[in-house]
């Protein structure tokens, strides 16, 4: 072999070893670079040269420098990042509500208990203005707590909106960078005759993983080096050099809520319902599954407490000898709907039965004269040809009626309970206006006693008959225009009724009724109970209450509401209904904590698998340095020998 050939072979070895040393050094330098994939310079034998004695090798040449990466492992990392981002965003927000609702200092449970405890204290001494003042103060504290919790929910809604703005901007910025990188990579791949710019590809993969943390993304690699990214149900985020834009805009119905839209070219499409994975879905899930149900649930408790307390308080009597009126703000409505379009029409609803209210929002549509009300929690719908018929179909089941018409083609979002807690307040502002007394009393008496106004003395009938203290369930014909007198008539047997409805009522002393109840429906639905064995001529009197300061009967009925099942179709009380909200939030928060711990392990494992394949191992690179250095030195020795041979040849012929 000629010394020139030997020199070429040695030089080729030097160049290849130098390239391999450079690649190894590049790996070592980027050992801590995020997303860097280990590179390896591939070599192959040069084409042999034919001689009279056969083919002779001509050395070595560099084939390419490859990026050691697996699309499968990269996808695993992206998927785990997306799931981790989703759970993390959901948990971060859910914990804030959980800490508020379950906390004894900031939640509603202790405040409700304090209010009813103060009501019981007032009942113990109904003539005391000081206990009444404590009750009024506790009622105001309760109202403030409802308002404070609702304000905190409103702040969280603002935080959700800001998160949506930030996340969509991050996704858009990363998508634009990837689109530009696609251009650079395609150009460099073409200039390199198919060899990929490995470091640019790594940088692009880092950006793709950042997007995956915010939203689930599908990646399609192109032969020219570009990638296409798709989100949701196939919406294109990046196609070659074109990047779409994700933005937020006000919800069609509610300016306080934001939707996510994708802008492609000159058009836009609402993709809120198509979002999946990543922090975006975590934030949206929190809003839909925790924030809005909690706020509506709190509003439902406020409505039920207000309506039940008001209904009972109205039936009572104040220290100023007046009817009770509303104790809390009347939250029954009308409650305005939110229009889905610019319209002069308004839609509203009025709550008629808080005991059957759900926490759902509703959508009201007029489709060419057919009115449709859809419960958005489960898409149960009612339809009719008129608002009147629609109310007939749904009001008993849903607990409210639509109180206004809407034009053809219009839609409204109806939210019966969502804003109620913010409006909860105390209507009574004077301790004398707290109606603890009942407006009607009963007593035993005879004709002589009836001539003495206000006589309430001891039993003076000759028999053992007795009448309990009556109650009323409405204010019809109350206060009484005159006393109602029941006189026992053995010939009936029963009582002659003078005043009120008149007539007679049957009561047989020989029958052991254990107490027999009667109701005068036209007079406040007065309900009373007769017992024992009255004698002929015994008299019982039902009359207006002239001493409300010594009476707590209506206050006791108000206090009973604490444990009366007045919510969830009469299956639970106020405090348990609030407890359901707390429990639901706590369960979802705990579930998210468990999911986060599991997802962190999966994410770490996916990253470890990726690093095992693509990451830089310093021990391996150190061994490669030594190997390539020795190869370089050996090639240098070949060059040196070739030079010596050439010099010897020159000397020989010179």
* Co-location of 414 and 485 in the same domain: no
- Round to whole Å and give the CA distance between 317 and 321: 6
Classify 100 as helix, strand or coil. Answer: helix
* Co-location of 386 and 300 in the same domain: yes
Of 479, 511, 544, the one marking the end of a domain is 544
Pairing of strands 526-531, 466-467: antiparallel
Q: Provide the pLDDT for residue 4.
A: 53
Q: Provide the pLDDT for residue 448.
A: 46
Rg of the chain over Cα atoms, rounded to whole angstroms, equals: 42
- Round to whole Å and give the CA distance between 483 and 504: 16
- Round to whole Å and give the CA distance between 513 and 534: 13
Element of type H or E holding 578: helix 574-614
In 3D, which of 199, 204, 197, 203 has the Cα closest to residue 219?
204
Q: Provide the pLDDT for residue 457.
A: 47
Buried/exposed code over 567-596 (b: 16+ C-beta within 10 A; e: otherwise): bbeeebbbbebbbbbbebbbebbeebeebb
* Co-location of 366 and 468 in the same domain: no
Q: Provide the pLDDT for residue 303.
A: 94
Flag whether 328 is in a domain: yes
Flag whether 179 is in a domain: no
Flag whether 398 is in a domain: yes
Angle of helix 292-314 versus helix 574-614 axis, rounded to 10: 180
Flag whether 562 is in a domain: no
Q: Provide the pLDDT for residue 599.
A: 92
Flag whether 319 is in a domain: yes
* Co-location of 417 and 446 in the same domain: no
Classify 412 as helix, strand or coil. Answer: strand
* Co-location of 407 and 456 in the same domain: no
Instruction: Report CA-CA distances (Å) from 106 to 136, 145, 146.
Output: 20, 8, 10
* Co-location of 296 and 397 in the same domain: yes
Question: What is the residue whose two structure tokens read 């690093």?
Answer: 611
C-beta neighbour count of 390 within 10 angstroms: 20
Of 544, 565, 580, the one marking the end of a domain is 544
Q: Provide the pLDDT for residue 456.
A: 47
Q: What is the DSSP string of 235-287?
A: EEEEETTEE-EEEEEE-SS-TTSEEEEEEETTEEEE-GGG--SHHHHHHHHHI
CA 395, chain centre distance (Å): 26
- Round to whole Å and give the CA distance between 355 and 398: 9
Flag whether 96 is in a domain: no
Burial class (CB in 10 A: 0-12, 13-18, 19+), 104: exposed
* Co-location of 409 and 534 in the same domain: no
* Co-location of 309 and 419 in the same domain: yes
Buried/exposed code over 496-510 (b: 16+ C-beta within 10 A; e: otherwise): ebbbbeeeeeebebe
* Co-location of 418 and 447 in the same domain: no
Of 361, 391, 423, the one marking the end of a domain is 423
**pLDDT mean values, one per 10 residues, the chain (654 residues):** 70 88 91 90 87 83 87 91 93 92 86 94 92 95 94 94 95 94 90 84 92 93 91 89 91 89 87 91 94 94 94 90 88 86 80 92 90 92 92 91 87 92 93 91 66 48 85 84 91 92 91 87 89 91 88 91 89 91 93 93 92 90 90 86 81 74
- Round to whole Å and give the CA distance between 171 and 17: 42
Question: What is the residue whose two structure tokens read 């490859």?
Answer: 66
Burial class (CB in 10 A: 0-12, 13-18, 19+), 254: middle
Q: Provide the pLDDT for residue 446.
A: 58
Flag whether 249 is in a domain: no
* Co-location of 354 and 398 in the same domain: yes
Flag whether 433 is in a domain: no
Q: Provide the pLDDT for residue 474.
A: 82
- Round to whole Å and give the CA distance between 41 and 67: 9
Q: Provide the pLDDT for residue 49.
A: 84
When divided into structural domains, the chain yields a total of 3
* Co-location of 444 and 486 in the same domain: yes
Full domain range(s) for residue 535: 440-544
- Round to whole Å and give the CA distance between 487 and 498: 8
* Co-location of 473 and 413 in the same domain: no
Within 13 A of 41's CA, how many CA atoms are on the CB side? 21
């Amino acid at each position: 072999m000629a010394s020139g050939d030997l020199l070429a072979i040695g030089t080729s070895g030097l160049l290849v070893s130098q390239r391999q040393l450079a690649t190894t050094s590049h790996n070592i330098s980027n050992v801590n670079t995020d997303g860097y994939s280990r590179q390896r310079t591939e070599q192959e034998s040069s084409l042999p040269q034919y001689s009279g004695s056969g083919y002779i090798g001509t050395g070595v040449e560099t084939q390419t420098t490859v990026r050691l990466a697996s699309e499968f492992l990269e996808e695993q990392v992206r998927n785990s990042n997306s799931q981790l981002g989703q759970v993390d965003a959901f948990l971060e927000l859910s914990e804030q509500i959980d800490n508020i609702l379950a906390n004894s200092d900031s939640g509603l449970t202790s405040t409700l208990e304090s209010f009813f405890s103060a009501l019981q204290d007032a009942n113990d001494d109904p003539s005391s203005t000081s206990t009444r003042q404590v009750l009024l103060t506790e009622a105001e504290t309760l109202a403030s707590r409802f308002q404070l919790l609702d304000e905190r929910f409103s702040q969280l809604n603002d935080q959700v909106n800001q998160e949506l703005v930030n996340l969509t901007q991050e996704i858009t910025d990363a998508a634009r960078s990837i689109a530009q990188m696609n251009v650079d990579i395609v150009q460099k791949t073409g200039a390199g005759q198919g060899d990929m710019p490995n470091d640019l590809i790594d940088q692009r993969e880092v950006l793709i993983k950042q997007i995956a943390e915010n939203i689930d993304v599908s990646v399609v690699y192109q032969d020219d080096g570009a990638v296409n990214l798709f989100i949701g149900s196939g919406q294109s985020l990046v196609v070659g050099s074109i990047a779409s834009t994700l933005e937020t805009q006000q919800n069609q119905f509610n300016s306080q809520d934001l939707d996510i839209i994708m802008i492609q070219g000159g058009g836009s499409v609402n993709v809120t319902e198509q979002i999946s994975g990543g922090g975006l879905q975590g934030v949206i899930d929190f809003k839909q599954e925790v924030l809005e149900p909690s706020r509506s649930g709190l509003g439902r408790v406020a409505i039920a407490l207000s309506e039940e307390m008001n209904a009972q308080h109205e039936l009572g009597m104040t220290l100023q000898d007046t009817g009770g009126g509303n104790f809390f703000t009347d939250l029954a409505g009308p409650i305005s709907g939110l229009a889905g379009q610019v319209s002069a029409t308004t839609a509203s609803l009025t709550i008629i039965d808080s005991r059957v209210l759900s926490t759902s929002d509703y959508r009201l549509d007029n489709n060419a004269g057919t009115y449709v009300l859809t419960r958005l929690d489960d898409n149960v719908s009612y339809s009719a040809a008129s608002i009147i018929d629609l109310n007939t179909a749904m009001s008993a089941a849903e607990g409210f009626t639509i109180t206004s018409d809407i034009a053809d083609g219009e839609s409204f979002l109806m939210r019966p309970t969502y804003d109620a807690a913010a409006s909860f307040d105390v209507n009574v502002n004077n301790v004398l206006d707290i109606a603890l007394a009942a407006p009607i009393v009963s007593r035993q008496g005879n004709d002589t006693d009836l001539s003495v106004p206000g006589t309430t003395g001891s039993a003076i009938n000759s028999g053992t008959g007795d009448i309990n203290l009556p109650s009323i369930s409405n204010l019809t014909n109350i206060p009484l225009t005159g006393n109602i007198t029941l006189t026992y008539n053995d010939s009936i047997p029963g009582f002659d009724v003078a005043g009120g409805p008149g007539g007679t009522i049957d009561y047989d002393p020989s029958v052991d009724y254990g107490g027999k109840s009667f109701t005068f429906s036209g007079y406040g639905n007065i309900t009373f109970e007769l017992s024992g064995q009255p004698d002929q001529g015994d008299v019982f009197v039902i009359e207006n209450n002239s001493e409300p300061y010594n009476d707590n009967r209506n206050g006791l009925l108000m206090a009973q509401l604490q444990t009366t099942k007045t919510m969830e179709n009469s299956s639970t009380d106020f405090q348990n209904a609030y407890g359901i909200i707390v429990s639901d939030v706590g369960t979802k928060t705990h579930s998210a904590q468990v999911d986060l711990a599991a997802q962190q392990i999966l994410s770490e494992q996916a990253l470890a698998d990726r690093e095992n394949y693509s990451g830089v191992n310093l021990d391996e690179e150190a061994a490669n340095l030594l190997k390539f250095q020795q190869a370089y030195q050996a090639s240098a020795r070949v060059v040196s020998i070739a030079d010596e041979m050439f010099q010897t040849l020159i000397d020989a012929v010179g």
